[in-house]
Amino acid sequence: MVSDGTNSATYSYLANSALVDHIVFAHSGAAVMTNQNTFDYVNRLTGKASALNFNYQYNAASQRTRVAEQLEMGSWTYVSDLLVAKRRKEQEFK
């Protein structure tokens, strides 16, 4: 746990791993947000779920090529080229 006396973040790790499974953020002892991470079989981050949800895709060289951000009003998708430079942003509204 990391704390400044009022705000804190408590980290939980995947079994037998240094990867953070989830984080609970609290204010004055009351949980205000939880962040849950998901990983693939080679320990690459494939998703984050909290107030915002993110999904990640990788190419064969383990370079992140796509990030999809899910929002209440719609979603943003960031697509990268082979040089992993942000190329375009696609917006979809519900």
Q: Delimit the domains of the chain by residue range.
A: 1-43, 52-94
Residue 78's alpha-carbon distances to 2, 48, 52, 60, in angstroms, are 32, 15, 15, 18
DSSP state of 3: E
pLDDT of residue 30: 94
Model pTM score: 0.68
Residue type, 78: Y
Q: How does pLDDT run across 29-83, given as a tens digit for each residue?
A: 999 999 999 999 999 999 998 877 888 888 888 887 778 877 666 667 777 665 5
pLDDT of residue 11: 95
What would the two tokens of residue 88 be? Answer: 């375009």
